[in-house]
Amino acid sequence: MSERRLLLVHAHPDDETLTTGGTIARYAAEGAQVHVLTCTLGEEGEVIGDEWAQLRVDASDQLGGFRIGELAAALSHLGAGAPRFLLGAGCFRDSGMAGTRAAANSRAFVNADRDSMTAAMVAVIRELRPHVVVTYDAGGGYGHPDHIQAHTITAAAVEAAGISRYPDCGEPWEVAKLYWTVTEASALESGICRIGNLPDGWRLPEPGELPSVPDTDVTTTIDVRGVLDAKRAALAAHATQVTVATSGAEYMLSNRVVRPMLEEEHFVLARGSLGERDDTGRERDLFAGVAEERR
């Protein structure tokens, strides 16, 4: 079988591991060519603990550069290639949440020219020639403006990459399938119900606090049980943003909310055709149905 190629587009360092780390590790371990394209450096992120606290935007504002190293380490644990950034590391700044001062920054990702960004992503797609592309849904998972922007630009670029638009961006390439990364509601609920005693300072999520989609929206489920150690190591590499519990069964972000380490990762097919499905009606492979001759 020829090499399968997968491209994942994420907004900030750590996003790639939080929702798709197991998928990255599984396909990399199976010999697929896996690339992660990150759109910002995550400069506006909060920082866990005191060791790196002075990197925050309201102190030295050096967090973005530091997170490049965290991303590189995480991708190494997952078996993926080196980090790639849209138009180069630091071209676009983390926009923060809507209505904040960060969102008004002229360099913020949300304020960049969409046609220029789309052309840049088209160039990446035509260079890497992925069969499958993964990014966020229209709501950006939990509504972060950078996630929504990544969704918008990726969807436009996947469409444009296969046609003659942007002739200066390489030879056209038709992406076979485009997926949104999501979390299935029942899997999240079951995972939360399995959480036992929490470390001091951690808390359970309030109902509806963690984003999820109805089970009926999910088209594709990837079993990541065999690569959870790699995902845990990648999460731990993002130490300014994530803390993994000693048990390895859960982790928390800077808001102190615990999240279960799920054994499956979930996706919604947004473009292309569903391939082989099991008796639940779901695909179990992102490359299902991709014609052999295209590989």
Asked whether residue 91 is domain-assigned, the answer is yes
Instruction: Reduce the secondary structure of the chain to three states and give it as a string.
Output: CCCCEEEEEECCCCHHHHHHHHHHHHHHHCCCEEEEEECCCCCCCCCCCCCCHHHCCCCCCCHHHHHHHHHHHHHHHHCCCCCEECCCCCCCECCCCCCCHHHHCCCEHHHCCHHHHHHHHHHHHHHHCCCEEEECCCCHHHHCHHHHHHHHHHHHHHHHHCCCCCHHHCCCCCCCEEEEEECEHHHHHHHHHCCCCCCCCCECCCCCCCCCECHHHCCEEEECHHHHHHHHHHHHHCCCCEEECCCCCEEEECCCEEEECCCEEEEEEEECCCCCECCCCCECCCCCCCCHHHC
pLDDT, tens digit, 9 for 90 and up, residues 123-163 = 999 999 999 999 999 999 999 999 999 999 999 999 999 99
- Confidence (pLDDT) at 234: 98
pLDDT, tens digit, 9 for 90 and up, residues 78-94 = 999 899 999 999 999 99
Asked whether residue 293 is domain-assigned, the answer is no
Grade residue 52 by pLDDT with cuts at 50, 70 and 90.
very high
Q: Which two tokens stand for residue 120?
A: 């840049």
Grade residue 23 by pLDDT with cuts at 50, 70 and 90.
very high
pTM of the entire predicted model: 0.97
Statement: residue 218 has pLDDT above 80: yes
Asked whether residue 294 is domain-assigned, the answer is no
- Confidence (pLDDT) at 293: 52
Work out the average pLDDT over 8-15: 98
Number of domains in the chain: 1
- Confidence (pLDDT) at 232: 98
Grade residue 1 by pLDDT with cuts at 50, 70 and 90.
very low
- Confidence (pLDDT) at 247: 94
Query: Which CATH number is 271's domain given?
Result: 3.40.50.10320
- Confidence (pLDDT) at 295: 54
For a pLDDT cut of 70, what percent of the chain falls above it?
Answer: 98
Asked whether residue 292 is domain-assigned, the answer is no
Asked whether residue 114 is domain-assigned, the answer is yes
Work out the average pLDDT over 277-294: 90
Asked whether residue 11 is domain-assigned, the answer is yes
- Confidence (pLDDT) at 291: 79
Q: How far apart are CA 18 and CA 81, in angstroms?
A: 17
Asked whether residue 77 is domain-assigned, the answer is yes
Asked whether residue 295 is domain-assigned, the answer is no
Q: Structural domain of residue 79, as residue ranges?
A: 5-287
